[in-house]
A and B are shown apart, each in its own frame.
Chain A
Amino acid sequence: MEPVEVIEGSVSVLDRADVDTDQIIPKQFLKRVERTGFGEFLFYDWIRDGEIELEPNPILVTGRNFGGGSSREHAPWALQDFGFDAIIAPSFADIFYSNCMKVGLLPVILGEEHVRGVAEAGAARIDLDDQTVDYAGGVVRFDIDEDTKHRLRHGLDDIGVTLRDVGAIDAFEAAGKADHGPSTGAL
């Protein structure tokens, strides 16, 4: 994963609430076994039907509860592959938010008025270290979990980080704490 520091540039606006991952990347494109190449299918039906137009700017600004429904990580892959590095919205669905963090697509939660402000300004500068969004309407701070921020800033691989602590997992298993569940091998 590429380290995330500053994301700066024009914004694309998708002025809709409750956009689910079935819209972001429709199911017929989930059959690829690779992680790449999903960008051209982003919002496939909406773009093909001429309902929306989107430029591949660094920042996408959109409505509340973005990314609900299916847990498909193909949604952040498609957004990233299309060209977005960050998404600004009043709120995100839980699994989508987590998936974005895993792939280095920065989800930024701002209040409704600031989201509208950034959309109108047309450009913004997001500084992950400072946790700020700087746009024509001012500088506004956003929240992010400290561990996740550290991982994003250094482009760390989650599995690598966890395996540094593999002794804790070994100890957990050795203490019998993992023994109460079923064995799938016995089926």
Chain B
Amino acid sequence: MSSPRTLFDKIWEAHTVADGLIYIDLHLVHEVTSPQAFDGLRLEGRTVRRPDKTVATADHNVPTDGTPVARMIADELSRKQVETLERNCEEFGVPIFSLGSDRQGIVHVIGPELGLSQPGLTIVCGDSHTSTHGAFGALAFGIGTSEVEHVLATQCLVQKRPKTMRINYSGELGAGVAAKDLILATIGRLGTGGMAGHAVEYAGETIRGLTMENRMTICNMTIEGGGRAGMIAPDETTFEWIEGRPAAPGDFDAAVANWRELPSDEGAEFDTAVEVDAAAISPMVTWGTTPGQVVQVTDAVPEPHDEVQERALRYMALEPGTPMQDVRLDRVFIGSCTNSRIQDLREAASVVQGRRVAASVNAMVVPGSAQVKAAAEAEGLDEVFRAAGFDWRSAGCSMCLGMNPDILSEGERCASTSNRNFEGRQGKGGRTHLVSPKMAAVAAIEGRFVDIREWEGI
């Protein structure tokens, strides 16, 4: 009898082509990290080995103002990059959903949405948040441009086997506490390098009770803990999400039967094991310039313990001892591959309904994909946001990384549902606080952070 194996072990072993070489089932491509890879192929006279396992979209630098096609993008360099992607995809036969397609969107939103992200697959993309797709029980991780070229040419990747970690969550999340809070609290505890070198499996009763959107939020931020990949074992919730989507398996029952074999076996061993009491987690807000610099919304800005923290406080212009709920905001951003799916927008809309964004705040909602946008509009969520004074945008990475016109100005303070509060991430001198969609929506209305559990509107 073979020894018990983890979800990771099973996928890794099923994809080992040769020692240190693994096969890639799905390669997602976007405009920023691919042009040099396609150039490399051309220089060597190589082709894309499996265009049928590759798909591209434009997301990082597209404007979210409704610009309908690449050639109308105002910024010259962005236009060139998106047009280059379109040309490369045409030349190499790679399917693409570019600006203007009703399937365009953030690469980590459209993969799941199209049903491409499935249990048991190996999925890569030249983007660190590829860990998102691990929510489906896939092994998914970000790669660099040289590796993008390698996968295009060979459909394989040279990889050392990472270590495995299981983070087991027990208890139910409290009212008003989101998946975002769960992962922020986890990173706060383990540190931004705490998961380094590991493929992380999020497990336990708390995780089983979460929706796919919630699970994607958690796996998405694995990289902020330094993890190589984040994964969640597939279950009925996973199967229900995939069924009926465009790329769902033809023989769905047979696929599900295989997927049921994937969860980690009883007694499977992990290199590192962590236990977290999910019931004890509160709504979280980052105070510094890494996602690990995070406190409960009821806490105050902490005293710095080292130079790194002192520097973070200076950059964020915060005084130790200031209650987080006294921190006033200029901007609110609801969007990004972490929190821009339909459930995220529904949650944000639920607290916005019938209220107004504070006069001092400029707030925006950016759906993760054209499909999410259409679904939200069909439900009337756009009207809820607009009536409250939010700017309702078109799909893209938007202000998560400020590669497009959506950026913070110097000194502006923003409550953001994205994944990184690094210096300058959302614009030079911009100050980012990471929160859940509901917390961001309430912050927009109040003009400051509030404990959503105590908020009168709930």
A47–B99 alpha-carbon span in the complex (Å): 35
Question: A27 within 8 Å of B by Cβ?
Answer: yes
**Per-residue B-contact encoding for A117-132, CB less than 8 Å = 1, 0 else:** 0000000000000000
**Interface pair B21/A23, CB less than 8 Å apart:** no
* Contact assessment for A95 and B146 in the assembled complex, using a CB-CB cutoff below 8 Å: no
Count of interface residues, chain B, beta-carbon cutoff 8 Å: 82
Expressed in whole angstroms, the Cα–Cα distance for A65 and B197 within the complex equals: 12
Among B33, B44, B160, B424, the residue within 8 A (CB) of A73 is B33
Interface contact A26-B424, CB-CB below 8 Å: yes
Give the contacting residue for B23; candidates A16, A27, A172, A182; CB below 8 A.
A172
The segment from B76-84, B324-332, B355-363, B372-380 that touches chain A is B76-84
B177 within 8 A of A: no
User: Is A184 within 8 A of B51, CB to CB?
Assistant: yes
Q: Which of chain B's residues have a CB closer than 8 A to the CB of A185?
A: 51-52, 95
CB of A30 within 8 A of CB of B403, answer yes
Closest beta carbon of chain A to B424's beta carbon, Å? 6
Are B26 and A31 within 8 A (Cβ)?
A: no
Known: A22-B422, A30-B403. A162 touches B144 (CB 8 A): no
- A158–B148 Cα distance when bound, in Å, is 12
Whole-angstrom CA separation of A18 from B312 in the bound complex: 11
> In residues 34-90 of chain A, which contact B (Cβ within 8 Å)?
34-35, 45, 64-65, 68-74, 76
Cβ of A68 and Cβ of B192 under 8 Å apart? yes
Let me know if B17 is at the binding interface, CB within 8 A.
yes
Q: How far is the CA of A178 from the CA of B14 in the complex (A)?
A: 9
B46 at the interface (CB under 8 A from A): yes
Q: Are B53 and A181 in contact (CB under 8 A)?
A: yes
**A159 B52 Cβ-Cβ under 8 A:** no
Give bound CA distance, A177 to B21, whole Å: 14
Q: Which residue of A lies closest to B162 (CB)?
A: A94
The answer to whether A182 and B192 have CB atoms under 8 Å apart is no
- Judge whether B423 and A45 touch: CB under 8 Å: yes
Chain A residue nearest to B293 in the complex (CB): A18
B424 to A23, Cβ gap below 8 A?
yes
- Residues of chain B in range 344-361 having any CB-CB distance to chain A below 8 Å: none
| B440 adjacent to chain A (CB < 8 Å) | no
Contacting residues, chain A, for B20 (C-beta < 8 A): 147
CB distance from A28 to the nearest CB of B (A): 7
Of all chain B residues, the one with the shortest Cβ separation from A99 is B144
A26 / chain B contacts, CB cutoff of 8 Å: 424, 428
A18 to B279, CA, bound (A): 30
Chain B residue contacts of A181, Cβ below 8 A: 25-26, 53, 118, 121
Q: A168-B17, A184-B247 known; A22 and B126 CB under 8 Å?
A: no
Q: Is there an interface contact between B142 and A162, defined as CB atoms closer than 8 Å?
A: no
Report how far A101 CA is from B121 CA in the complex, Å: 26
The answer to whether the Cβ of A145 comes within 8 Å of any Cβ in the partner chain is yes
Residue of B nearest to A27 (CB): B403
The answer, among B84, B118, B192, for a CB contact under 8 Å with A18, is: B192
User: In the complex, what's the smallest C-beta–C-beta distance from A136 to chain B, in angstroms?
Assistant: 25
Nearest chain B CB to A26 CB, angstrom units:
6
Which chain B residues border A35 with CB–CB below 8 Å?
36, 39, 145
User: How many A residues are at the interface, by size bracket?
Assistant: 35 or more
Contact B156 A73 (CB under 8 A): no
A165 at the interface (CB under 8 A from B): yes
* B175 interface residue (CB < 8 Å to A): no
Is B425 interfacial (CB 8 A cutoff)? yes
Closest to A17 in B: B308
Collect the chain A residues with CB atoms within 8 Å of residue B424's CB: 22-23, 26, 45
Q: Tell me the minimal C-beta distance from A170 to chain B in angstroms.
A: 10
C-beta contact mask, B102-125 vs A, less than 8 Å → 1, else 0? 010000000000111010110000
Asked whether B155 is an interface residue with its Cβ less than 8 Å from the other chain, the reply is yes
- Which chain A residues (104-155) contact chain B, with CB distance < 8 Å? 145, 147
Tell me, in angstroms, the Cα distance from A10 to B278 when the chains sit together: 50
A73 and B144 alpha carbons, distance in the complex (Å): 5
Q: Is B246 touching A71 in the complex (CB atoms < 8 A)?
A: no
A5 within 8 A of B: no
- Given contacts A22-B423, A73-B145, are A168 and B192 in contact (CB under 8 A)? no
- Closest chain-B Cβ to A4's Cβ sits at a distance in Å of 15
Count chain B CB atoms within 10 A of each CB in A27, A30, A33, A182 and give the residue with the most: A182
Q: Are A93 and B193 in contact (CB under 8 A)?
A: yes
Give bound CA distance, A28 to B424, whole Å: 11
CB distance from B286 to the nearest CB of A (A): 14
Candidates B36, B127, B149, B224; contact of A159 at CB < 8 Å: B149
Closest Cβ–Cβ distance, residue B97 to chain A (whole Å): 8
| Chain A residue, CB-CB nearest to B76 | A31
Alpha-carbon separation in the docked complex, A187 to B402 (Å): 30
Q: At the interface, yes or no: A103 with Cβ under 8 Å from chain B? A: yes
**Complex Cα gap A38–B312 (Å):** 26
- The smallest beta-carbon distance between A107 and chain B, in angstroms, is 13
Cα distance A183–B428 in the bound complex, in angstroms: 41
In the assembly, what is the distance between CA of A95 and CA of B129, in Å?
A: 11
Determine the chain A residues whose CB is within 8 A of the CB of B23 once the complex forms: 169, 172, 177-178
Q: Please judge, given known A-B contacts A71-B143, A159-B149, whether A178 and B25 are in contact too, CB under 8 Å.
A: yes
Contacting residues of chain B (146-161) with chain A, CB-CB under 8 angstroms = 146-147, 149-150, 153-156, 158, 160
B67 contacts the other chain (CB 8 A): no
**Whole-angstrom distance between the Cβ of B153 and the nearest chain A Cβ:** 5
For the complex of A and B, 5 pairs with smallest distance between CB atoms: A181-B25, A102-B146, A99-B144, A33-B35, A31-B77
Binding site for B on A (CB under 8 A): 16-18, 20, 22-23, 26-28, 30-35, 45, 64-65, 68-74, 76, 91, 93-95, 98-99, 102-103, 145, 147, 158-159, 161-163, 165-166, 168-169, 172, 177-178, 180-187
18 of the cross-chain contacts (CB-CB < 8 Å) are A22-B422, A27-B403, A35-B39, A68-B193, A71-B144, A73-B33, A74-B145, A93-B196, A102-B147, A158-B150, A159-B150, A162-B150, A165-B18, A178-B50, A181-B53, A183-B52, A183-B247, A186-B52
